[in-house]
């Protein structure tokens, strides 16, 4: 791509080399458009029409039919067109320079024959199909410009439910990579390399080509989970499954880099997703994995400091802003108000919205310190917004005050005053991101001032990540505790103003009373539910049915000779986290109770992505699956009874 080429840095000496810019499907990439007349403006406005014609022709495989001359009537009949309309369409393709018309009929020109015929080795159909699927995004540009949140049509949300769009994207990226393949695989730095890690390697084509050219190479693609399938398909296509693998990774979680070493580490066309500070963090983490005499290979589209040149990079920056909820640029300037990490879920499904406020611009060290916190928040389903401006943020569920030694006391006072309304009845916490304790504003004074100004709920355990050496598991555990606190205060706000009449009506609503469980051995089931879950036997309803009670909820156990439970059917028992752990240990120690996977990663005790929920699944004596779990953040924030468990 223009403005894009491999830059290699060796670990010793930091020598750099830039490979020759490859020939790509883009031309004149450095040119900024020059408009001279009103005609140019009209043509600019009408360019969508030619795109639509090309998209339609490719979708209907017109160019497959015109490899040899074909008449308009014959082609219209083959494609189900009205003949006179088909002729008009084909003539338009001639006028656009995609077909030629002779006495024998319509036929591809060399460019169309090379790139638009589906069985051509250089077919770019997947690229055009990917562009076609973005067609409806562009009229919503005004929404993107006004929204701080990730929108439903942007890639991180759309790909979760629109598999056709995801597959088209992966196919397009494979095609886009082809011009760089020959350049990369022939670089001499791979001649002696044994392990290669491709960061953001996606579909894995670069790594597969390198490994096929260099038989001693083994390697991994590190990328987000949705790209696993595409990478696996590529490795299978090249028959390199035994040498290449895929690891789901958030690249900004530096804890995952610890202990990893490789002869070549590749940063694969991903830097445009990140801010300038995050780019520095990512490059530093990647460089730290490089073996002595190894190399860091960076493949990226660059945008100059003026954020206009090269022209295609500026256009690409806008494209990324529209279609993703990343930094919105090819790692040009980083603003003071930006989403650090969007959650890995749609806006309407966010667990918590966290706002991190800072009174002075963040330095590189502070931005790097935030990376692990942002990664943990995104993985747990929270969004984390970083800003110097409390105004205009909209509703948030928790506010983190970032403290660093560069914060002037006056600026901190102003920030706290401006944030008072935003923080009212909201979970608050202090996070130290840079500087020593002696350099920081007095924590005691900050706490007193903040609470006085906002009437918020202050979490008593501040987070200290200024050293940059805090293990990821420590941050994850801290975030789980703070998330429970924030969810409880969120529910507290929802109860604000609730009167006695509303509370009385709530108590009169219908409620679940009992369930009926089937068994082949009534006494064995009574003993099981009593021993494992602590249920109490109440009385019998005849010789074949017993009434049991568990923490105020009745359930019946009824003897039956013939029954089976459908796949996926189960009952759920909510418990405190320590009881989930205890029951899991008891079930495991029994040795006779079958543990099952349920919604977990594997049979046995496990934590959810928010590190708050924990669960274990197992079967009762008759094969009924029982889920014992602790509440996740969503439950805590919406269930008044759980609020009593937490506060």
Average pLDDT, consecutive stretches of 10 residues, N- to C-terminus, the chain (647 residues)? 48 39 42 73 84 92 96 94 95 95 95 93 84 83 74 70 72 71 83 93 89 94 83 92 89 77 88 73 87 88 74 76 59 39 45 79 67 75 77 76 74 78 81 64 65 77 78 84 85 64 61 88 94 92 91 91 88 89 94 88 80 87 93 59 48
**Would the CA dihedral through 179, 181, 184, 186 be positive or negative?**
negative
Domains of the chain from N-terminus onward: 4-25+155-301 (3.40.50.150), 38-123 (1.10.10.10), 336-494 (3.40.50.360), 514-646 (3.10.180.10)
* Contact status, residue 409 vs residue 493, Cβ threshold 8 Å: no
Instruction: Give 325's Cβ-side CA count (13 Å radius).
Output: 28
Q: Which has the closest alpha carbon to 263: 349, 345, 196?
A: 196
pLDDT for the residue 90: 96
pTM: 0.47
DSSP 23: P
DSSP assignment string, 144-204: HHH-SSPPTTSHHHHHHH-HHHHHHHHHHHHHHHHHHHHHHHT-GGGSS--EEEEET-TT-
**H helix runs in 429-576, sequence order:** 443-454, 472-494, 500-507, 522-533
Residue carrying the six token digits 């990774």:
249
pLDDT for the residue 580: 92
The Cα 198–Cα 256 span in angstroms is 14
Instruction: Give 416's Cβ-side CA count (13 Å radius).
Output: 25
């Amino acid at each position: 791509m223009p403005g894009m080429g491999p830059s290699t840095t060796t670990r010793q000496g930091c020598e750099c080399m830039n490979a020759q810019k490859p020939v790509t499907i883009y031309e004149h990439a450095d040119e900024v458009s020059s408009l001279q007349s009103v005609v140019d403006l009209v043509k600019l406005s009408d360019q969508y029409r030619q795109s639509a014609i090309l998209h339609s022709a490719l979708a209907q495989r017109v160019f497959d039919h015109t490899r040899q001359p074909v008449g308009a009537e014959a082609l219209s009949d083959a494609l189900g067109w009205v003949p006179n309309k088909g002729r008009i369409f084909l003539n338009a393709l001639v006028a656009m320079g995609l077909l030629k018309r002779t006495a024998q009929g319509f036929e591809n020109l060399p460019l169309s024959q090379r790139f638009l015929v589906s069985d051509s080795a250089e077919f770019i159909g997947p690229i055009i199909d990917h562009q076609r699927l973005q067609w409806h995004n562009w009229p919503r540009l005004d929404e993107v410009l006004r929204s701080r949140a990730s929108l439903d049509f942007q890639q991180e949300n759309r790909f979760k439910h629109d598999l056709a769009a995801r597959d088209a994207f992966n196919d397009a990226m494979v095609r886009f990579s082809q011009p760089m393949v020959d350049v990369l695989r022939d670089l001499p730095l791979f001649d002696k390399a044994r392990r290669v890690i491709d960061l953001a390697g996606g579909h894995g084509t670069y790594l597969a080509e390198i490994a096929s050219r260099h038989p001693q190479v083994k390697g991994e693609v590190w990328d987000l989970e949705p790209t696993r399938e595409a990478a696996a398909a590529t490795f299978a296509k090249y028959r390199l499954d035994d040498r290449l693998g895929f690891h789901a990774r958030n690249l900004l979680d530096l804890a995952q880099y610890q202990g990893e070493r490789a002869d070549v580490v590749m940063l694969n066309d991903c830097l445009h997703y990140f801010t300038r500070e995050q780019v520095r963090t990512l490059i530093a983490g990647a460089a730290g994995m490089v073996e002595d005499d190894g190399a860091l290979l960076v493949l990226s589209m660059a945008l100059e400091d003026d954020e206009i040149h090269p022209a295609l990079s500026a256009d690409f920056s806008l494209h990324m802003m529209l279609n993703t909820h990343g930094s919105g640029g090819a790692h040009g300037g980083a603003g003071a108000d930006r989403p650090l990490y969007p959650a890995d879920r749609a806006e309407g499904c966010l667990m918590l919205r966290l706002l991190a406020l800072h009174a002075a611009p963040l330095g590189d060290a502070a931005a790097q310190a935030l990376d692990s916190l942002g990664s943990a928040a995104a993985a747990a389903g929270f969004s984390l917004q970083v800003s110097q401006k409390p105004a205009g943020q909209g509703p948030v569920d928790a506010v983190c005050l970032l403290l660093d030694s560069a914060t002037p006391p006056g600026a901190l006072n102003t920030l706290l005053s401006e944030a008072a309304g935003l923080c009212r009845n909201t979970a608050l916490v202090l996070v130290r991101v840079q500087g020593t304790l002696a350099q920081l504003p007095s924590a005691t004074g900050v706490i007193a001032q903040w609470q006085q100004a906002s009437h918020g709920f202050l979490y008593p355990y501040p987070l200290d990540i200024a050293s940059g050496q805090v293990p990821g598991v420590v941050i994850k555990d801290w975030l789980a505790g703070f998330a429970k606190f924030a969810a409880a205060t969120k529910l507290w706000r929802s109860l604000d103003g609730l009167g006695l009449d509303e509370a009385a009506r709530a108590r009169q609503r219908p409620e679940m009373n009992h369930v009926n469980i089937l068994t082949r051995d009534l006494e064995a089931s009574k003993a099981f539910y009593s021993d494992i879950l602590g249920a109490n036997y109440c009385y019998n309803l005849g010789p074949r049915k017993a009434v049991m009670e568990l923490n105020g909820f009745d359930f019946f156990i009824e003897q039956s000779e013939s029954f089976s439970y459908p796949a996926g059917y189960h009952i759920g028992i909510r418990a405190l986290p320590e009881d989930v752990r205890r029951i899991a240990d008891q079930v495991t120690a029994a040795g006779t109770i079958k543990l099952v996977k349920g919604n977990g990663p594997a049979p046995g005790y496990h934590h959810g992505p928010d590190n708050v929920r924990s669960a274990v699944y197992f079967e009762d004596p008759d094969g009924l699956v029982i889920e014992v779990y602790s509440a996740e953040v969503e439950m805590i924030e919406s269930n008044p009874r759980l609020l009593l468990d937490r506060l």
